[in-house]
Amino acid sequence: MIIMLMRVLKATKTLVLPILKTHSHERIPMKGLIDQLIKIVGKDNLLTQREDMVTYSYDAAVLDPVVPHAVVMPENSEQLGQIVKVCSTHRVAMTVRGSGTNLSGGTIPSNTSGVVVLTGKLNKILEINEADMYAVVQPGVVTATLAAAVEKKGLFYPPDPGSQAVSTLGGNVAENAGGLRGLKYGVTKDYVMGLSFFDSMGEHVKSGSRTVKCATGYNLTGLMVGSEGTLGVIDEIILKLIPLPKARKSMVAVYKTIKQASETVAAIIADRIVPATLELLDNFTIRAVESYSKAGLPVDAGALLLIEVDGHPGQVEEDGRRVEEICRETGAQSVKVATDDAERDRIWAARRSALSALAKLKPTLVLEDATVPRSKIPAMVKSLQEISKKYDISIGTFGHAGDGNLHPTILTDKRNKAEWHRVEQAIEEIFDRALELGGTLSGEHGTGLAKAPFLEKETGRSAILFSRRLRKAMDPYNILNPGKITGVI
């Protein structure tokens, strides 16, 4: 057996060697790696103690943690480029990490000899250009920080993941994050005009421009958006800004059943009204949120729709009135319109607390984001209820119903093996149902490690093989966040 293993290892080595020979760098032992990283960032910006690094061994996905070999915190682009070069030289896997809030395992280190690169100190807003309406940022800028900075100038950066108070723009771009305003304003990809990144060899690559239009070369910007740290390390992003809407109206519609609420979503869209936000909360989630945030939500409601229309004041008045009418026509027991900013803020703070509120109920929370065409929301809601019953598990449902992007949230305890097995079956059935309805496995949380095993169900084999070839071409040593999206390449 041992001899056989040695033969396999030997064979593997001869397969790998020709590739390594094409690269001028020598393989240097790990000690050399740490010394070189310290030279680049200084001792204070490098963690190697196990107790420090445990924090960077997991993210918001329910997956096993992996403690990395080192955590490094560059303070500028130059240092970031040098780090990539050193990792390339050592053939060391690198996982870039913003705030680690992703829900698909994208920042779980690939192996224990890997390095985590934290972008937290690359947190400068480099430019806000009011005349041409764009911003240039480093990847570690927190999403809400940019939104607040541009709002002061009458500008608007719409993508607003529920995690915007902590998530970074680098993480948003790498995940193509969505949020509560996707229905009217789209998602992160719709706002990335250009970016620069370090490729797997540490070469600096620029793509896109500061112009509204740009048709030169390949759309490398599009390739990088949603690439989850597997194709390059982003160091600068140019983001489109738009004028801040002049008026907003938020309301809460209360329903006896989730069926009525989900039918209202389809009815509003069919009426050719596009609210900025159209969120659904089922009774399970309402109760969790109310006990967590004391926002005054009606705990007896079967479901709630939280709706915001925005734009020109006249249009907001008209759309607001019509949305209210539709809600009542489709069975709303009441529709409460926020009368001031404080009330509006309370509504949205309650919605944004949904995940934290549910997380308090059980030791393990699995939040999915399988998405369906929005007209299929009532069918998806029905399927979720059936799946919950079939596998005897608790599923709270909330999310961006206007985009067809619900968040079925399974509450469980991973230590209960029998229940966990049923949860895994339920997750697969949720994916299957979304695909049958013409949907996708992930509307916004990305593939990471969590959905990699299921990707082929949606894309087919040839898309996976093409992606692996693309990846090999861009990262021949497989050092950029290995294992994510395409699995082993």
Amino acid type, 116: V
- C-alpha 475/C-alpha 335 separation (Å) is 54
SS3 123: coil
Query: To the nearest whole angstrom, how small is the minimum distance from the Cβ of residue 203 to ligand FAD?
Result: 15
Name which of 81 and 100 has its Cβ closer to ligand FAD: 100
Name which of 197 and 431 has its Cβ closer to ligand FAD: 197
User: Closest-CB residue for ligand FAD?
Assistant: 171
- C-alpha 170/C-alpha 139 separation (Å) is 4
Among residues 260, 280, 252, 479, the alpha carbon closest in space to that of 398 is found at 280
Q: In what order do the strands lie in the sheet with 134-137?
A: 125-129, 134-137, 233-240, 192-198, 204-208
Question: Distances from the Cα of 267 to the Cαs of 144, 249, 276, 323, 385, in angstroms?
Answer: 32, 19, 16, 9, 21
Are 134 and 210 in contact by the 8 Å Cβ rule? The answer is yes
Query: To the nearest whole angstrom, how small is the minimum distance from the Cβ of residue 32 to ligand FAD?
Result: 25
Query: To the nearest whole angstrom, how small is the minimum distance from the Cβ of residue 330 to ligand FAD?
Result: 25
Among residues 317, 411, 406, 397, the alpha carbon closest in space to that of 359 is found at 411
Residue 32 CA from chain centroid, whole number: 35
> Mutual orientation of helices 258-270 and 313-329 as an angle, nearest 10°?
140
Rama region for 439: left / alpha / beta (φ>0; ψ in -120 to 50; rest): beta
Binding site for ligand FAD (CB under 6 A): 59-60, 95-103, 106-107, 119, 139, 161-163, 167-168, 170-172, 174-175, 177-179, 228-229, 233-234, 355, 444-445, 481
Name which of 388 and 409 has its Cβ closer to ligand FAD: 409
DSSP state of 225: T
Query: To the nearest whole angstrom, how small is the minimum distance from the Cβ of residue 237 to ligand FAD?
Result: 9
Name which of 257 and 353 has its Cβ closer to ligand FAD: 353
Name which of 254 and 484 has its Cβ closer to ligand FAD: 484
Name which of 74 and 320 has its Cβ closer to ligand FAD: 74
Name which of 232 and 320 has its Cβ closer to ligand FAD: 232
Q: Which two tokens stand for residue 167?
A: 């998530």
Amino acid type, 261: A
Query: To the nearest whole angstrom, how small is the minimum distance from the Cβ of residue 101 to ligand FAD?
Result: 3
Query: To the nearest whole angstrom, how small is the minimum distance from the Cβ of residue 15 to ligand FAD?
Result: 28
Query: To the nearest whole angstrom, how small is the minimum distance from the Cβ of residue 367 to ligand FAD?
Result: 8
Name which of 224 and 266 has its Cβ closer to ligand FAD: 224
Query: To the nearest whole angstrom, how small is the minimum distance from the Cβ of residue 71 to ligand FAD?
Result: 12
Query: To the nearest whole angstrom, how small is the minimum distance from the Cβ of residue 279 to ligand FAD?
Result: 10
SS3 229: coil
Are 103 and 445 in contact by the 8 Å Cβ rule? The answer is yes
Name which of 139 and 439 has its Cβ closer to ligand FAD: 139
Query: To the nearest whole angstrom, how small is the minimum distance from the Cβ of residue 302 to ligand FAD?
Result: 23
CA angle 303, 306, 312 (to 5 degrees): 155
* Strand locations in 122-198 (E): 125-129, 134-137, 155-156, 192-198
SS3 428: helix
Name which of 368 and 444 has its Cβ closer to ligand FAD: 444
Query: To the nearest whole angstrom, how small is the minimum distance from the Cβ of residue 390 to ligand FAD?
Result: 27
Neighbours of 349 (CB within 10 A): 12
Question: Among all chains, which residue has been given the structure tokens 């994510």?
Answer: 484
Name which of 72 and 355 has its Cβ closer to ligand FAD: 355
CA angle 226, 228, 229 (to 5 degrees): 130
